[in-house]
Homo-oligomer: A and B are copies of this chain.
């Protein structure tokens, strides 16, 4: 079990967009170059963030991506759910059999992690950012 590289790209892109905090959209070429990944692939990931309404895109010349909401409101969990989906990490018997005690423990553990990810907002990292 591992977080995908796509999640890594998404988090770093969001952190960058939060730190520039400009009205001007940033093109995917520039974003991709900073992370050493192909623009085609990154744009697929960013489209998920658009659909989750974390960022918005503008086409045409001087187009690109910019934040939609406020930095204070964007959590790690928002970004991760947008990329990875929000399904449970553990499924016992195919469906959600809530009677399974193992399922209950795993779900509670997962919620502990998600609580932490939900409480950490992007704005907290803006000034201290390295490795972006």
Contacts and interface: CB of A to CB of B under 8 A. Distances in A.
Contact of A3 (B4, B101, B106, B130): B106
A5 to B, nearest CB: 9
Interface in A65-97: 76, 84, 87, 89-93, 97
Contact of A89 (B2, B91, B114, B128): B2
Contacts of A112: 112-113, 115-116
Interface centre among A87, A91, A99, A106 (most CB of B within 10 A): A106
Question: In the assembly, how many copies of this chain are there?
Answer: 2
Given A1-B89, A4-B1, A92-B131, A101 B113 contact: no
Interface stretch (A7-15, A25-33, A41-49, A50-58): A7-15
Interface size class of A (residues with CB under 8 A): 35 or more
A89 B131 contact: no
A88 to B, nearest CB: 9
A108 interface: yes
Complex A-B, nearest 7 residue pairs according to Cβ-Cβ distance, in ascending order: A100-B131, A113-B113, A109-B116, A3-B90, A112-B112, A112-B116, A101-B125
11 contacts: A1-B1, A2-B91, A3-B106, A15-B101, A76-B105, A76-B109, A101-B130, A101-B131, A102-B125, A103-B131, A105-B120
